[in-house]
Amino acid sequence: MVWIGLIITIGYLVLITSFIIGFKRISPYKLKLTQSKTNFSVVIPFRNEAENLPLLLQSLEQLSYPKKLFEIILVNDASEDKSLDIISNFILNSKLNITVLENDRQSKSPKKDAISTAVKKSKYDWIITTDADCEFPRYWLNSFDEIIIKTNAKCISGPVSYLNRPSFLHKFQILDLHSLQGATIGGFGINQPFLCNGANFAYQKYLFIELDGFEGNNQTASGDDIFLLEKIAKNYPKTLTYLKCEDAIVSTKTQPSWRQLINQRIRWAAKTSRYKNAFGKLTGIAVLLMNILVISLLLLTWIHYTSTFYFLAILLSKFMVDYVIISKAALFFKQKQVLKTFPLAFIFYPFFSVYVAIKSIFSEYTWKGRQFKK
């Protein structure tokens, strides 16, 4: 058991350290506000988002990007609330170029179908996907425009942050997202992009068409971002970049309850078995094994099967690298204050992650009022 624990720990430490190095390699981009040139089609699927649409639309209205250079495509996925009424009333008084489409369902993944529906109708060469519960900084599209001109990238992963709210539930989610964003940025920094977030993800339309969009993955309900990133990384590895820019940070809401959070994480975890990226699979396995190891050693120490020193040494090693990568992300997202919750979240996380992993294997999950299988 001692040697198994050491192997898992060393592998985990090497992995997270590589992300820390990769995070440092991606330099923050400072916006210059040069003349805008790129045309964007902003794609937003929605289902029963009446609560969130007013802020979303107001946020889009306040973008500084020239309105003639972008369109907004809202795709209705069988909403049963007043979402369409809210959008219709907004359009009457807005100068934004907004198109509302009905989702053309073709697969078991409503969101992938919605994005595919929008891409077919889009006017412009660049697609940016986001979610209906998001808010955007004023220079969001300017940031993408400048990085496209600077790097000639064809696919761009953008930063996503949770809105800070009180209570451990919400701060736990913020820290968890910081760990994911830290790994995302770190992966790009070591030329192993394996994560992105569909709430802030851009790519050229021709790539989507040439790679047959979500074909091959559309039987999995989630993963519209990760699976497409995998395809692009495999076929055009030198065209990807991460937009590490404060003016590009998209903000979204945390889940309001533990039950909804668990459902969200099961939805995320359910797609991991279908990953084709070897590095992504290795990362997922390493993180899961490390969390299982922490729980196992805690139990073995309690029954005096292994030494307390051995357990604490491994726990402290994990604490240190986790804190470094999360703190770097927290500083970038200007949410340093949430680090006060890190020690408690660190203790709780192994139990939470292992529970979600087990549930994702054996359970269905509910999302947006629908039941999904793995």
Secondary-structure class of domain 31-256 per CATH: alpha beta
Question: Residue 66, Cα to own-chain centre: how many angstroms?
Answer: 27
Q: What is the pTM of this model?
A: 0.93
What is each CA distance from 316 to 9, 177, 336, 356, in whole angstroms?
A: 11, 22, 21, 24
Number of DSSP helices (H) and strands (E) in the chain, helices first = 12, 12
In this prediction, residue 216 carries a pLDDT of: 79
Upper half-sphere CA count for residue 117 (Cβ side, 13 Å): 23
Each residue's pLDDT, cut to its tens digit, for the chain (374 residues) gives: 688 999 999 999 999 999 999 999 999 999 998 899 999 999 999 999 999 999 999 999 999 999 999 999 999 999 999 999 999 999 999 999 999 999 999 888 899 999 999 999 999 999 999 999 999 999 999 999 999 999 999 999 999 999 888 899 999 999 999 999 999 999 999 999 999 999 999 999 999 999 999 887 766 666 778 999 999 999 999 999 999 999 999 999 999 999 999 988 988 887 776 777 889 999 999 999 999 999 999 999 998 888 999 999 999 999 999 999 999 999 999 999 999 999 999 999 999 999 999 988 877 767 666 666 65
Question: Residue 214, Cα to own-chain centre: how many angstroms?
Answer: 17
Nearest to 99 by CA among 83, 118, 80: 118
User: Residue 306, Cβ neighbours under 10 Å: how many?
Assistant: 18
Alpha-helical segments (H) within 48-135: 53-61, 83-92, 110-121
Longest Cα separation, the chain: 70
Length of the chain: 374
In this prediction, residue 369 carries a pLDDT of: 67
**β-bridge pairing 40-46 and 126-129:** parallel
Nearest to 83 by CA among 112, 45, 122: 45
Domain with CATH 3.90.550.10 in the chain: 31-256
In this prediction, residue 334 carries a pLDDT of: 96
Give the Cα separation of 11 and 287 in Å (integer).
10
